[in-house]
Amino acid sequence: MSRPLLQLALDHTDLHHALRDVELLAGHVDIVEAGTILCLNEGLQAVRSLRTHCPDKIIVADWKVADAGEALAQQAFSAGANWMTVICAAPLATVEKAHQAAVQQNGEVQIELFGNWTFDDARAWHSIGIRQAIYHRGRDAQASGQSWGEADLARMKVLSEIGLALSVTGGITPESLTLFRDINVKAFIAGRALTTASQPQQVARAFHQQLTDIWGEY
Amino acid sequence: MSRPLLQLALDHTDLHHALRDVELLAGHVDIVEAGTILCLNEGLQAVRSLRTHCPDKIIVADWKVADAGEALAQQAFSAGANWMTVICAAPLATVEKAHQAAVQQNGEVQIELFGNWTFDDARAWHSIGIRQAIYHRGRDAQASGQSWGEADLARMKVLSEIGLALSVTGGITPESLTLFRDINVKAFIAGRALTTASQPQQVARAFHQQLTDIWGEY
Protein backbone atom coordinates (compact mmCIF):
# COMPACT_ATOMS: atom_id res chain seq x y z
CA MET A 1 0.00 0.00 0.00
CA SER A 2 1.59 3.29 -1.04
CA ARG A 3 2.13 6.10 1.43
CA PRO A 4 -0.88 8.42 1.61
CA LEU A 5 -0.43 12.09 0.81
CA LEU A 6 -1.26 14.99 3.10
CA GLN A 7 -3.87 17.48 1.87
CA LEU A 8 -4.42 20.95 3.28
CA ALA A 9 -8.08 21.98 3.00
CA LEU A 10 -8.61 25.73 2.88
CA ASP A 11 -12.09 26.46 4.15
CA HIS A 12 -11.56 30.12 4.83
CA THR A 13 -14.19 32.64 3.83
CA ASP A 14 -11.65 34.87 2.13
CA LEU A 15 -8.59 34.39 0.00
CA HIS A 16 -6.44 36.71 2.05
CA HIS A 17 -6.58 34.50 5.13
CA ALA A 18 -6.34 31.33 3.04
CA LEU A 19 -3.12 32.53 1.44
CA ARG A 20 -1.64 33.31 4.82
CA ASP A 21 -2.01 29.62 5.74
CA VAL A 22 -0.73 28.58 2.32
CA GLU A 23 2.40 30.65 2.92
CA LEU A 24 2.89 28.87 6.23
CA LEU A 25 1.97 25.32 5.24
CA ALA A 26 2.38 24.73 1.50
CA GLY A 27 5.94 23.49 2.00
CA HIS A 28 4.65 20.89 4.46
CA VAL A 29 1.82 19.29 2.48
CA ASP A 30 1.43 17.44 -0.84
CA ILE A 31 -1.96 18.75 -1.93
CA VAL A 32 -3.69 22.10 -1.46
CA GLU A 33 -7.48 22.22 -1.66
CA ALA A 34 -9.61 25.20 -2.53
CA GLY A 35 -12.48 24.28 -0.19
CA THR A 36 -16.14 24.75 -1.06
CA ILE A 37 -16.58 27.66 1.34
CA LEU A 38 -13.56 29.46 -0.11
CA CYS A 39 -14.72 28.84 -3.69
CA LEU A 40 -18.28 30.03 -3.05
CA ASN A 41 -16.87 33.19 -1.50
CA GLU A 42 -14.04 33.97 -3.88
CA GLY A 43 -15.04 32.24 -7.10
CA LEU A 44 -12.62 30.87 -9.65
CA GLN A 45 -9.97 33.27 -8.40
CA ALA A 46 -9.46 30.93 -5.45
CA VAL A 47 -8.27 28.09 -7.71
CA ARG A 48 -6.23 30.40 -9.94
CA SER A 49 -4.50 31.97 -7.01
CA LEU A 50 -3.58 28.63 -5.43
CA ARG A 51 -2.09 27.47 -8.73
CA THR A 52 0.02 30.64 -8.84
CA HIS A 53 1.12 30.37 -5.23
CA CYS A 54 1.76 26.60 -5.28
CA PRO A 55 3.13 25.81 -8.74
CA ASP A 56 4.39 22.35 -7.73
CA LYS A 57 1.46 21.12 -5.63
CA ILE A 58 -1.59 19.12 -6.56
CA ILE A 59 -4.49 21.60 -6.46
CA VAL A 60 -8.04 20.41 -5.71
CA ALA A 61 -11.17 22.36 -6.61
CA ASP A 62 -13.66 21.11 -4.03
CA TRP A 63 -16.73 22.13 -6.02
CA LYS A 64 -18.96 19.12 -5.26
CA VAL A 65 -20.35 19.35 -8.79
CA ALA A 66 -23.92 18.04 -9.18
CA ASP A 67 -24.71 19.08 -12.74
CA ALA A 68 -23.08 20.76 -15.73
CA GLY A 69 -20.11 18.43 -15.31
CA GLU A 70 -18.35 19.31 -18.54
CA ALA A 71 -18.57 23.10 -18.22
CA LEU A 72 -17.44 23.10 -14.62
CA ALA A 73 -14.60 20.63 -15.23
CA GLN A 74 -13.32 22.77 -18.09
CA GLN A 75 -13.32 25.80 -15.82
CA ALA A 76 -11.70 24.12 -12.84
CA PHE A 77 -8.91 22.48 -14.84
CA SER A 78 -8.31 25.56 -17.00
CA ALA A 79 -7.92 27.57 -13.80
CA GLY A 80 -5.17 25.22 -12.66
CA ALA A 81 -6.87 22.47 -10.67
CA ASN A 82 -5.51 18.92 -10.93
CA TRP A 83 -8.46 17.30 -9.23
CA MET A 84 -12.12 18.37 -8.99
CA THR A 85 -14.79 16.92 -6.73
CA VAL A 86 -18.21 15.72 -7.95
CA ILE A 87 -20.96 14.95 -5.44
CA CYS A 88 -22.13 11.33 -5.26
CA ALA A 89 -25.72 12.49 -5.87
CA ALA A 90 -24.81 13.72 -9.35
CA PRO A 91 -26.35 11.76 -12.22
CA LEU A 92 -23.93 9.31 -13.84
CA ALA A 93 -24.10 11.42 -17.01
CA THR A 94 -22.65 14.34 -15.05
CA VAL A 95 -19.87 12.21 -13.59
CA GLU A 96 -19.05 10.91 -17.05
CA LYS A 97 -18.97 14.34 -18.66
CA ALA A 98 -16.83 15.73 -15.85
CA HIS A 99 -14.47 12.76 -16.14
CA GLN A 100 -14.13 13.11 -19.91
CA ALA A 101 -13.37 16.82 -19.61
CA ALA A 102 -10.89 16.05 -16.83
CA VAL A 103 -9.02 13.48 -18.91
CA GLN A 104 -8.62 15.97 -21.74
CA GLN A 105 -6.82 18.30 -19.35
CA ASN A 106 -4.85 15.62 -17.47
CA GLY A 107 -7.12 16.13 -14.50
CA GLU A 108 -8.99 13.72 -12.27
CA VAL A 109 -12.48 13.65 -10.80
CA GLN A 110 -12.98 12.67 -7.17
CA ILE A 111 -16.43 11.50 -6.10
CA GLU A 112 -17.46 13.05 -2.81
CA LEU A 113 -19.38 10.50 -0.75
CA PHE A 114 -22.16 12.05 1.29
CA GLY A 115 -25.52 10.63 2.35
CA ASN A 116 -27.16 7.95 0.22
CA TRP A 117 -24.81 6.15 -2.16
CA THR A 118 -24.39 2.47 -2.89
CA PHE A 119 -21.58 0.12 -3.84
CA ASP A 120 -23.37 -0.28 -7.17
CA ASP A 121 -22.90 3.46 -7.67
CA ALA A 122 -19.22 3.00 -6.83
CA ARG A 123 -18.91 0.21 -9.40
CA ALA A 124 -20.65 2.38 -12.00
CA TRP A 125 -18.26 5.27 -11.31
CA HIS A 126 -15.29 2.92 -11.60
CA SER A 127 -16.59 1.44 -14.83
CA ILE A 128 -16.59 4.86 -16.53
CA GLY A 129 -13.03 5.55 -15.43
CA ILE A 130 -13.26 7.15 -11.99
CA ARG A 131 -10.41 6.11 -9.68
CA GLN A 132 -10.84 8.38 -6.66
CA ALA A 133 -13.44 9.08 -4.01
CA ILE A 134 -13.55 11.12 -0.84
CA TYR A 135 -14.81 9.49 2.30
CA HIS A 136 -16.28 11.92 4.76
CA ARG A 137 -17.21 12.34 8.26
CA GLY A 138 -19.00 15.62 7.51
CA ARG A 139 -18.36 18.76 9.54
CA ASP A 140 -21.95 18.87 10.74
CA ALA A 141 -22.13 15.11 11.34
CA GLN A 142 -18.92 15.44 13.31
CA ALA A 143 -20.29 18.34 15.34
CA SER A 144 -23.38 16.28 16.12
CA GLY A 145 -21.15 13.60 17.64
CA GLN A 146 -20.66 11.03 14.87
CA SER A 147 -17.20 9.44 14.98
CA TRP A 148 -15.16 7.08 12.81
CA GLY A 149 -16.27 3.55 13.40
CA GLU A 150 -16.04 -0.03 12.18
CA ALA A 151 -18.89 0.54 9.73
CA ASP A 152 -16.95 3.35 8.07
CA LEU A 153 -13.79 1.28 7.85
CA ALA A 154 -15.65 -1.71 6.41
CA ARG A 155 -17.25 0.47 3.73
CA MET A 156 -13.87 2.01 2.92
CA LYS A 157 -12.38 -1.46 2.43
CA VAL A 158 -15.10 -2.39 -0.07
CA LEU A 159 -14.53 0.86 -1.96
CA SER A 160 -10.81 0.09 -2.07
CA GLU A 161 -11.57 -3.35 -3.49
CA ILE A 162 -13.82 -1.82 -6.15
CA GLY A 163 -10.78 0.15 -7.25
CA LEU A 164 -11.34 3.58 -5.76
CA ALA A 165 -8.46 5.21 -3.91
CA LEU A 166 -9.88 7.16 -0.99
CA SER A 167 -9.14 10.54 0.44
CA VAL A 168 -10.29 10.65 4.02
CA THR A 169 -11.63 13.71 5.79
CA GLY A 170 -13.46 14.81 8.89
CA GLY A 171 -11.63 15.49 12.14
CA ILE A 172 -8.44 13.79 10.95
CA THR A 173 -5.54 14.19 13.41
CA PRO A 174 -2.08 12.58 13.43
CA GLU A 175 -3.26 10.24 16.21
CA SER A 176 -6.22 9.00 14.14
CA LEU A 177 -4.18 7.78 11.16
CA THR A 178 -3.56 4.28 12.52
CA LEU A 179 -7.30 3.61 12.18
CA PHE A 180 -6.85 3.55 8.41
CA ARG A 181 -3.74 1.35 8.14
CA ASP A 182 -5.55 -1.33 6.10
CA ILE A 183 -7.26 1.05 3.69
CA ASN A 184 -6.01 2.23 0.28
CA VAL A 185 -5.79 5.88 1.29
CA LYS A 186 -4.81 8.35 -1.39
CA ALA A 187 -4.67 11.31 0.96
CA PHE A 188 -5.59 12.47 4.41
CA ILE A 189 -7.35 15.80 4.30
CA ALA A 190 -6.76 18.13 7.21
CA GLY A 191 -8.30 21.55 7.49
CA ARG A 192 -8.75 23.08 10.89
CA ALA A 193 -6.44 20.47 12.50
CA LEU A 194 -3.69 22.35 10.65
CA THR A 195 -4.99 25.88 10.20
CA THR A 196 -6.23 26.45 13.75
CA ALA A 197 -3.22 24.83 15.44
CA SER A 198 -0.97 27.08 17.48
CA GLN A 199 2.02 25.45 15.74
CA PRO A 200 0.67 24.45 12.29
CA GLN A 201 4.01 23.34 10.85
CA GLN A 202 4.63 21.18 13.88
CA VAL A 203 1.26 19.47 13.40
CA ALA A 204 2.10 18.93 9.71
CA ARG A 205 5.38 17.31 10.76
CA ALA A 206 3.49 15.09 13.21
CA PHE A 207 1.23 13.98 10.33
CA HIS A 208 4.23 13.10 8.18
CA GLN A 209 5.95 11.27 11.02
CA GLN A 210 2.84 9.14 11.52
CA LEU A 211 2.52 8.51 7.78
CA THR A 212 6.12 7.34 7.65
CA ASP A 213 5.76 5.21 10.76
CA ILE A 214 2.70 3.44 9.36
CA TRP A 215 3.25 3.39 5.60
CA GLY A 216 6.99 4.02 5.22
CA GLU A 217 8.78 6.66 3.15
CA TYR A 218 7.34 8.10 -0.09
CA MET B 1 -53.31 25.61 -5.95
CA SER B 2 -51.58 29.00 -6.02
CA ARG B 3 -50.04 30.36 -9.16
CA PRO B 4 -46.40 29.28 -9.56
CA LEU B 5 -43.70 31.94 -9.82
CA LEU B 6 -41.22 32.33 -12.66
CA GLN B 7 -37.53 32.03 -11.80
CA LEU B 8 -34.67 33.19 -13.98
CA ALA B 9 -31.59 30.98 -13.52
CA LEU B 10 -28.32 32.72 -14.32
CA ASP B 11 -25.79 30.07 -15.27
CA HIS B 12 -23.35 32.40 -16.94
CA THR B 13 -19.64 32.02 -16.30
CA ASP B 14 -19.22 35.72 -15.59
CA LEU B 15 -21.18 38.39 -13.82
CA HIS B 16 -20.98 40.87 -16.67
CA HIS B 17 -23.01 38.69 -19.02
CA ALA B 18 -25.35 37.63 -16.22
CA LEU B 19 -26.17 41.24 -15.41
CA ARG B 20 -26.91 41.96 -19.05
CA ASP B 21 -29.67 39.34 -18.90
CA VAL B 22 -30.83 40.63 -15.52
CA GLU B 23 -31.21 44.09 -17.06
CA LEU B 24 -33.32 42.61 -19.83
CA LEU B 25 -35.40 40.15 -17.82
CA ALA B 26 -35.62 41.09 -14.15
CA GLY B 27 -38.82 43.05 -14.75
CA HIS B 28 -40.39 39.94 -16.27
CA VAL B 29 -39.67 37.33 -13.58
CA ASP B 30 -40.43 36.86 -9.87
CA ILE B 31 -37.19 35.22 -8.74
CA VAL B 32 -33.59 35.65 -9.84
CA GLU B 33 -31.16 32.80 -9.20
CA ALA B 34 -27.40 33.04 -8.87
CA GLY B 35 -26.68 29.67 -10.50
CA THR B 36 -23.97 27.30 -9.31
CA ILE B 37 -21.74 27.98 -12.31
CA LEU B 38 -21.98 31.74 -11.78
CA CYS B 39 -21.30 31.40 -8.04
CA LEU B 40 -18.28 29.12 -8.51
CA ASN B 41 -16.87 31.62 -10.99
CA GLU B 42 -17.67 34.90 -9.29
CA GLY B 43 -18.00 33.97 -5.63
CA LEU B 44 -20.21 35.75 -3.14
CA GLN B 45 -20.11 38.86 -5.30
CA ALA B 46 -22.65 37.16 -7.59
CA VAL B 47 -25.28 37.07 -4.84
CA ARG B 48 -24.45 40.56 -3.57
CA SER B 49 -24.65 42.03 -7.00
CA LEU B 50 -28.04 40.46 -7.77
CA ARG B 51 -29.41 41.82 -4.49
CA THR B 52 -28.21 45.30 -5.49
CA HIS B 53 -29.57 45.06 -9.02
CA CYS B 54 -32.89 43.44 -8.07
CA PRO B 55 -33.90 44.96 -4.72
CA ASP B 56 -37.49 43.72 -4.97
CA LYS B 57 -36.95 40.20 -6.26
CA ILE B 58 -36.53 36.91 -4.45
CA ILE B 59 -32.83 36.02 -4.83
CA VAL B 60 -31.70 32.39 -4.78
CA ALA B 61 -28.14 31.28 -4.02
CA ASP B 62 -27.92 27.95 -5.84
CA TRP B 63 -25.00 26.65 -3.83
CA LYS B 64 -26.09 22.99 -3.46
CA VAL B 65 -24.61 22.95 0.04
CA ALA B 66 -23.41 19.52 1.20
CA ASP B 67 -21.65 20.41 4.46
CA ALA B 68 -20.95 23.42 6.68
CA GLY B 69 -24.64 24.31 6.49
CA GLU B 70 -24.60 27.02 9.11
CA ALA B 71 -21.54 28.92 7.85
CA LEU B 72 -22.71 28.86 4.26
CA ALA B 73 -26.28 29.85 5.12
CA GLN B 74 -25.02 32.81 7.14
CA GLN B 75 -22.94 33.94 4.19
CA ALA B 76 -25.63 33.48 1.56
CA PHE B 77 -28.35 35.25 3.54
CA SER B 78 -26.04 38.03 4.72
CA ALA B 79 -25.11 38.65 1.09
CA GLY B 80 -28.78 39.16 0.25
CA ALA B 81 -30.14 35.76 -0.73
CA ASN B 82 -33.72 34.88 0.27
CA TRP B 83 -33.41 31.21 -0.54
CA MET B 84 -30.37 28.90 -0.58
CA THR B 85 -30.16 25.39 -2.02
CA VAL B 86 -28.87 22.35 -0.10
CA ILE B 87 -28.12 19.11 -1.94
CA CYS B 88 -30.25 16.10 -1.02
CA ALA B 89 -27.08 14.11 -0.30
CA ALA B 90 -26.22 16.43 2.61
CA PRO B 91 -26.43 14.84 6.07
CA LEU B 92 -29.62 15.77 7.95
CA ALA B 93 -27.45 17.65 10.46
CA THR B 94 -26.31 19.93 7.64
CA VAL B 95 -29.86 20.52 6.43
CA GLU B 96 -30.92 21.33 9.97
CA LYS B 97 -28.07 23.76 10.62
CA ALA B 98 -28.67 25.49 7.29
CA HIS B 99 -32.39 25.71 8.04
CA GLN B 100 -31.82 27.16 11.51
CA ALA B 101 -29.43 29.78 10.16
CA ALA B 102 -31.91 30.56 7.38
CA VAL B 103 -34.79 31.09 9.79
CA GLN B 104 -32.72 33.56 11.80
CA GLN B 105 -32.30 35.68 8.68
CA ASN B 106 -35.84 35.21 7.33
CA GLY B 107 -34.45 32.95 4.64
CA GLU B 108 -35.48 29.56 3.37
CA VAL B 109 -33.61 26.41 2.43
CA GLN B 110 -34.54 24.52 -0.71
CA ILE B 111 -33.49 20.87 -1.00
CA GLU B 112 -32.08 20.09 -4.41
CA LEU B 113 -33.17 16.61 -5.47
CA PHE B 114 -30.52 14.78 -7.47
CA GLY B 115 -29.71 11.08 -7.70
CA ASN B 116 -30.53 8.84 -4.74
CA TRP B 117 -33.04 10.26 -2.30
CA THR B 118 -36.08 8.69 -0.69
CA PHE B 119 -39.52 9.79 0.48
CA ASP B 120 -38.30 9.03 4.00
CA ASP B 121 -35.61 11.66 3.44
CA ALA B 122 -38.31 14.05 2.28
CA ARG B 123 -40.36 13.39 5.43
CA ALA B 124 -37.26 13.92 7.58
CA TRP B 125 -36.56 17.26 5.87
CA HIS B 126 -40.17 18.31 6.36
CA SER B 127 -40.10 17.29 10.01
CA ILE B 128 -37.20 19.66 10.74
CA GLY B 129 -38.99 22.56 9.04
CA ILE B 130 -38.04 22.40 5.37
CA ARG B 131 -40.90 23.44 3.07
CA GLN B 132 -39.27 23.62 -0.36
CA ALA B 133 -37.48 21.29 -2.75
CA ILE B 134 -36.22 21.55 -6.29
CA TYR B 135 -37.15 18.83 -8.72
CA HIS B 136 -34.66 18.42 -11.51
CA ARG B 137 -34.24 17.01 -14.84
CA GLY B 138 -30.48 17.62 -14.77
CA ARG B 139 -28.68 19.39 -17.60
CA ASP B 140 -26.57 16.33 -18.33
CA ALA B 141 -29.48 13.91 -17.91
CA GLN B 142 -31.44 16.11 -20.29
CA ALA B 143 -28.60 16.14 -22.81
CA SER B 144 -28.45 12.35 -22.63
CA GLY B 145 -32.11 12.20 -23.67
CA GLN B 146 -34.06 11.85 -20.43
CA SER B 147 -37.41 13.63 -20.53
CA TRP B 148 -40.19 14.46 -18.09
CA GLY B 149 -42.35 11.41 -17.62
CA GLU B 150 -45.13 9.89 -15.53
CA ALA B 151 -42.61 8.61 -12.97
CA ASP B 152 -41.38 12.17 -12.37
CA LEU B 153 -44.91 13.51 -12.02
CA ALA B 154 -45.92 10.73 -9.63
CA ARG B 155 -42.90 11.43 -7.42
CA MET B 156 -43.64 15.14 -7.48
CA LYS B 157 -47.19 14.46 -6.29
CA VAL B 158 -45.93 12.45 -3.32
CA LEU B 159 -43.50 15.24 -2.42
CA SER B 160 -46.36 17.75 -2.60
CA GLU B 161 -48.39 15.55 -0.24
CA ILE B 162 -45.47 15.36 2.19
CA GLY B 163 -45.66 19.14 2.32
CA LEU B 164 -42.82 20.27 0.09
CA ALA B 165 -43.56 22.95 -2.47
CA LEU B 166 -41.55 22.21 -5.60
CA SER B 167 -39.55 24.33 -7.93
CA VAL B 168 -39.22 22.58 -11.24
CA THR B 169 -36.25 22.80 -13.57
CA GLY B 170 -34.69 21.17 -16.59
CA GLY B 171 -35.70 22.14 -20.11
CA ILE B 172 -38.81 23.99 -18.94
CA THR B 173 -40.60 25.85 -21.76
CA PRO B 174 -43.98 27.64 -21.81
CA GLU B 175 -45.44 24.67 -23.70
CA SER B 176 -44.33 22.19 -21.02
CA LEU B 177 -46.14 23.86 -18.12
CA THR B 178 -49.42 22.00 -18.58
CA LEU B 179 -47.61 18.79 -17.59
CA PHE B 180 -47.46 20.09 -14.05
CA ARG B 181 -51.04 21.33 -13.60
CA ASP B 182 -51.77 18.93 -10.74
CA ILE B 183 -48.54 19.58 -8.81
CA ASN B 184 -47.93 22.10 -6.01
CA VAL B 185 -45.36 24.09 -7.96
CA LYS B 186 -43.66 26.95 -6.16
CA ALA B 187 -41.74 28.14 -9.20
CA PHE B 188 -40.72 27.18 -12.69
CA ILE B 189 -37.03 27.72 -13.23
CA ALA B 190 -35.97 28.76 -16.70
CA GLY B 191 -32.37 29.40 -17.67
CA ARG B 192 -31.36 29.04 -21.26
CA ALA B 193 -35.02 28.96 -22.42
CA LEU B 194 -34.99 32.65 -21.49
CA THR B 195 -31.37 33.75 -21.82
CA THR B 196 -30.64 32.19 -25.19
CA ALA B 197 -33.97 33.18 -26.79
CA SER B 198 -33.85 35.68 -29.61
CA GLN B 199 -36.72 37.55 -27.90
CA PRO B 200 -36.21 36.81 -24.17
CA GLN B 201 -38.94 39.17 -22.93
CA GLN B 202 -41.41 37.65 -25.35
CA VAL B 203 -40.62 34.17 -24.00
CA ALA B 204 -41.07 35.47 -20.43
CA ARG B 205 -44.48 36.85 -21.44
CA ALA B 206 -45.38 33.48 -22.97
CA PHE B 207 -44.48 31.82 -19.64
CA HIS B 208 -46.72 34.23 -17.72
CA GLN B 209 -49.57 33.79 -20.21
CA GLN B 210 -49.39 30.02 -19.72
CA LEU B 211 -49.21 30.39 -15.93
CA THR B 212 -52.31 32.57 -15.97
CA ASP B 213 -54.14 30.27 -18.37
CA ILE B 214 -53.50 27.23 -16.15
CA TRP B 215 -53.38 28.61 -12.60
CA GLY B 216 -55.12 31.99 -12.88
CA GLU B 217 -53.89 35.43 -11.84
CA TYR B 218 -51.45 35.98 -8.93
What are the tens digits of pLDDT across the range B95-121? 999 999 999 999 999 999 988 899 999
Catalytic member of A67, A89, A137, A206: A67
**Interchain contact, B88 vs A63, CB within 8 Å:** no
Question: What residues in chain B have their Cβ under 8 A from chain A's Cβ atoms?
Answer: 11, 13, 36-37, 39-46, 63-64, 66-72, 75, 87-91, 93-94, 96-97, 112, 114-118, 121, 136, 138-141, 143-144
What are the tens digits of pLDDT across the range B172-184? 999 999 999 989 8
**Is residue B136's pLDDT more than 70?**
yes
Average the pLDDT over A122-138 and give the result: 94
pTM of the model: 0.94
Average the pLDDT over A128-152 and give the result: 80
* Distance between CA atoms of residues B82 and B84, nearest Å: 7
Enumerate the residues of chain A whose CB falls inside 8 A of the CB of residue B74: none
Stretch among A89-93, A144-148, B76-80, B209-213 having the lowest mean pLDDT: A144-148
**Interchain contact, A116 vs B89, CB within 8 Å:** yes
DSSP alpha helices (H): ranges in chain B?
15-25, 36-42, 44-53, 69-78, 92-104, 119-127, 139-143, 150-162, 192-195, 200-215
Enumerate the residues of chain B whose CB falls inside 8 A of the CB of residue A40: 39-40, 43-44, 63, 72, 75
Please indicate whether residue A139 is annotated as part of the active site: yes
Question: Closest chain A residue to B121 measured between Cα atoms?
Answer: A116
Predicted confidence at residue B141, as pLDDT, reads 61
**Is residue B145's pLDDT more than 70?**
no
What size, in residues, is chain A?
Answer: 218
Predicted confidence at residue B142, as pLDDT, reads 65
> Mean of the per-residue pLDDT values for chain B?
94
Please indicate whether residue A30 is annotated as part of the active site: no
Domain span at residue A68 reads 5-215
**Interchain contact, B68 vs A36, CB within 8 Å:** yes
* Distance between CA atoms of residues A169 and A191, nearest Å: 9
Predicted confidence at residue B182, as pLDDT, reads 87
Predicted confidence at residue A218, as pLDDT, reads 79
**Is residue B144's pLDDT more than 80?**
no
**Is residue A142's pLDDT more than 80?**
no
Predicted confidence at residue A139, as pLDDT, reads 60
Angle among Cα A48, A53, A56 to the nearest 5 degrees reads: 100
**Is residue B33's pLDDT more than 90?**
yes
Query: φ and ψ at B92, to 5 degrees?
Result: -60, -35
* Distance between CA atoms of residues B109 and B183, nearest Å: 20
Percentage of chain A exceeding pLDDT 70: 95
How many domains would you assign to chain B? 1
**Interchain contact, B117 vs A89, CB within 8 Å:** yes
Using 50, 70 and 90 to split pLDDT, how confident is the model at A138? low
* Distance between CA atoms of residues B121 and B96, nearest Å: 13
Q: Which residues pair with A9 in a beta bridge?
A: A33
How many C-beta atoms lie closer than 10 Å to residue B5's C-beta?
Answer: 17
Looking from the CA of A170 toward its CB, the CA atoms found within 13 Å total 24
Using 50, 70 and 90 to split pLDDT, how confident is the model at A145? low
- Residue B116 Cα distances to A9, A200, A202, B72, B183, angstroms: 27, 39, 42, 23, 21
How many C-beta atoms lie closer than 10 Å to residue A156's C-beta?
Answer: 23
The CATH number assigned to the domain holding A112 equals 3.20.20.70
Average the pLDDT over B10-24 and give the result: 97
Using 50, 70 and 90 to split pLDDT, how confident is the model at B217? confident
**Interchain contact, A140 vs B97, CB within 8 Å:** yes
**Is residue A137's pLDDT more than 70?**
yes
Stretch among A32-36, A134-138, A142-146, B76-80 having the lowest mean pLDDT: A142-146
Using 50, 70 and 90 to split pLDDT, how confident is the model at B140? low
The DSSP-derived string for B139-174 is HHHHHTT----HHHHHHHHHHHHHT-EEEEESS--G
Question: Closest chain A residue to B89 measured between Cα atoms?
Answer: A115
What are the tens digits of pLDDT across the range A159-197? 999 999 999 998 899 999 999 998 989 999 999 999 999
Which strand (E) or helix (H) includes residue B87?
A: strand B83-87
**Interchain contact, A94 vs B143, CB within 8 Å:** no
For residue B189, the distance in angstroms to the closest alpha carbon of chain A comes to: 15
Of A89, A97, A143, the CB nearest to B115: A89
Enumerate the residues of chain B whose CB falls inside 8 A of the CB of residue A97: 140
Cβ-based contacts under 8 A for chains A and B: 149
Enumerate the residues of chain B whose CB falls inside 8 A of the CB of residue A143: 93
**Interchain contact, A138 vs B93, CB within 8 Å:** yes
CA dihedral A111, A117, A119, A124 (to 10 degrees): -60
Percentage of chain B exceeding pLDDT 70: 95
